[in-house]
Structure 1
Amino acid sequence: MVLIKILLGSLVAAVSHAGVAQTTAYPSSPITVVVPFAPGGSVDVAARIVMPRLAERLKQPIVVENVVGASGTIATQRVIRAKPDGYTLLFAVASPVTVAPLVSPNTFKYDGLKELLPIAPVASSAFVLIARPTLAVDSADALVKLARSQPGKLNYGTDGVGTSLHITAEMIKQMAAIDIMHVPYKSGPQVLTELAGGQIDLAVLPVGLAQNFIRDNKVKALGVTSQARWEGLPNVPSLSETAEFKSMNVDSWQGLMAPAHTDAAIVDRIARELAAVHADPELKRKLADAGFAPMDMAPAAFATYLAREKQMLSTVINTAGIRMD
């Protein structure tokens, strides 16, 4: 009996040691990071700025793979189904992870915050409320007054129904109690072109996409959605500087997520290395040039942030009655 106990104890110790060795050896082969949108878009740009630096820290290649379709939900569901070994990660954003199941629960039957594991945010960007050059307003306050005097006559463009841009615009409407009609397009660049040409009145778009048009006075910037002014557009006020939008604080995040049940040691390793990447001044400069800022959170804090955001989004979606099913 004593001999059996000794042998069992040795076996357990060996298995335990093997598990530790396997975890500490991560990564031992290339990692695939799935980007849920096309090459050249703002999400892809952020991924291709940051992932090479993370690969250097992890000492393994990171393959950025663009999986396009269904507003990012195809890529998201692919990673949900992937083996939870740390070698397939999602370069996540809110639209497919959180928003899609809220606006289309009968179509997208997954819970992005339960079936994916938050690792860490990678970068953030604000959205910006912009107007056509000929619209007779130069501030968010003036827009509120104009919209209230002409309910239902103004319109705004976004990249589609149920997207993060659409929901942010609906939040602006709800905060100011104004009636503005939504005009959905297929992409943000299309919205920007139409707005600069005067075909629509307003738009809510990512700062990174709109900033050159703003600097060249091709559109009017009425306010960014972040609580503070955006560093790359210091002359553009935050919407929170206007009374109706005092509590406005919306940032567009990009982050790494893994399939649920991925080993916590792997998640912590990636998060630590990403934090080190964010400390690089050159990386910060490249992100700023593209309209982004580094966003640092530990895995647990990132999970809490996403849960709070989901609750806020759910409230806006339900109030606006946004459904696509």
Structure 2
Amino acid sequence: MSASPFRRLFVAAGLLAAAALPAAWAQGAAYPSRPVTVIVPFAAGGSVDAAARMVLQKVSERLKQPVVIENVAGAAGTIGTLRAVRSPADGYTLLFAVASPINVAPLVSPGLVKYESLRDLAPIAQVATSPFVLVGSPQVAATGTTQMLELARQQPGKLSYGTDGVGTSMHVTASLIEQQAGVQLMHVPYRSGPQVLTELASGLIDLAVMPVTLAQPFIKDGKVKAYGVTSRQRWGSLPEVPALAESPALKNVDVESWYGLFAPAQTDAALVERIAREVAAAMADADLQRRMLEAGLKPLVQGPAAFAATLKAERTSLGAVVAKAGIKAE
């Protein structure tokens, strides 16, 4: 017996509906079927690279596929970020980044940055925060923050400080410290954070604003002095180091850098949510949380919507600091 016209019509309609399902959803259902590449837009061995490797190891276990980290350093993280923006939006090339290439570079280098991160990237998850720490060379006479600031006031523009480049998060944070304290320091940009710490320990520069994750081994080994962390309260992995906000001149300093995962903007929303769920599950691992805390990172999971809101708010607040300091990297 042949099928009725109505049955044939029903079957045909069902096939058309199935064919109309977004291709990305179909990919997401079986995702991932091969290794995933995550671009880290900074050199291996830095704070962003270290955080990425800790987190993505657990994400790889959840996905049951290798997660391959590709370090694409240069131009304050913008070269690697641009590569991620231009990658296929299929979930197989992601970006692990911090504020420098996402929210700082578009403000300080609008003519050079060839992407608009809030439009061209899809936030997947924020995974951690960590403050910066103001550190000094052993040769600097000042033993505390107040004394160091007084020394800077007596010699405007003489005390030098290093960061990982013009227009990076470290540079903007140092400018905020200058603004709050009413001091003028001399900026010495380097290519990477590890290079800054080596030069600082050798006495070639006076001060530096560094991520806690990168600086704390130097602090604990007595190679550099720690004046204070930029978080509102003292930080768990460096309990003996005061918060800069404990000094009256810097009472309003409250800066914590975020670490997060992104996809190209056109990645299907269902796939973004799928990856976000796997990241959240990976972040619940007690051993990962312990290792992150020991490294100076505070685990903090935000999903796509909350992370997007955080980025928009940060862009506004950073814009005010950059405009007041007149920071330009062009």
- TM-score tier after normalising by the smaller chain length: over 0.9
Question: Aligned letter for 1:70?
Answer: A
**2:324 maps to which residue?**
319
Residue 122, structure 1, aligned to residue 121, structure 2: no
Q: CA deviation at 1:166?
A: 0.8
Q: CA deviation at 1:119?
A: 0.5
Q: How many residues align?
A: 325
Q: Provide, for residues 138-172 of structure 1, a one-character-per-residue CA deviation record: whole Å limited to 9, x for no partner.
A: 22222233322332232211122111111110010
Work out the CA distance in 2 between the residues paired with 1:21 and 1:161: 43
Instruction: Point out the more displaced range, 298-307 or 37-46.
Output: 37-46
Q: What secondary structure does 2:148 align onto?
A: helix
**1:13 maps to which residue?**
17
Work out the CA distance in 1 between the residues paired with 2:144 and 2:26: 59
Question: Aligned letter for 1:10?
Answer: G
Q: What secondary structure does 1:138 align onto?
A: coil
| Contact persistence 2:127–2:302 (CA under 8 A) | no
Q: From 192, 202, 205, give the equivalent of 1:197.
A: 202
Q: Give the TM-score normalised by the residue count of structure 1.
A: 0.92
**1:102 maps to which residue?**
107
> For residues 163-182 of structure 1, what are the structure 2 equivalents within 5 Å?
163-182=168-187
| Contact persistence 1:98–1:111 (CA under 8 A) | no
Instruction: Point out the more displaced range, 4-13 or 183-192.
Output: 4-13
- Give the % identical residues: 57
Work out the CA distance in 1 between the residues paired with 2:177 and 2:22: 54
Structure 1's unaligned 5+ residue stretches are none
**2:30 maps to which residue?**
25
Q: From 119, 138, 141, give the equivalent of 2:143.
A: 138
Q: Provide, for residues 253-283 of structure 1, a one-character-per-residue CA deviation record: whole Å limited to 9, x for no partner.
A: 2211000021111111211221121121211
**1:224 maps to which residue?**
229
Q: CA deviation at 1:211?
A: 0.9
**1:87 maps to which residue?**
92
| Contact persistence 1:99–1:313 (CA under 8 A) | yes
After TM superposition, the runs of 4+ consecutive aligned structure 1 residues lying more than 6 A away are 1-5
Q: Provide, for residues 216-244 of structure 1, a one-character-per-residue CA deviation record: whole Å limited to 9, x for no partner.
A: 22221111011221111001011122223
Q: CA deviation at 1:3?
A: 8.2
Work out the CA distance in 1 between the residues paired with 2:192 and 2:36: 29
Q: Give the TM-score normalised by the residue count of structure 2.
A: 0.91
Q: From 223, 233, 242, give the equivalent of 1:237.
A: 242
Q: CA deviation at 1:185?
A: 2.1
Work out the CA distance in 2 between the residues paired with 1:117 and 1:201: 39
Question: Aligned letter for 1:176?
Answer: A
Q: From 139, 161, 167, give the equivalent of 1:162.
A: 167
**1:151 maps to which residue?**
156
Q: What secondary structure does 1:295 align onto?
A: strand
Q: What secondary structure does 2:42 align onto?
A: coil
Q: Provide, for residues 37-81 of structure 1, a one-character-per-residue CA deviation record: whole Å limited to 9, x for no partner.
A: 222222112111111210111222212122233332221111111
**1:62 maps to which residue?**
67
Instruction: Point out the more displaced range, 283-292 or 310-319.
Output: 283-292
Work out the CA distance in 2 between the residues paired with 1:55 and 1:230: 29
Work out the CA distance in 2 between the residues paired with 1:17 and 1:157: 52
> For residues 248-259 of structure 1, what are the structure 2 equivalents within 5 Å?
248-259=253-264
| Contact persistence 1:130–1:219 (CA under 8 A) | yes
Q: CA deviation at 1:8?
A: 6.1
Q: What secondary structure does 1:129 align onto?
A: strand
Work out the CA distance in 2 between the residues paired with 1:175 and 1:12: 63
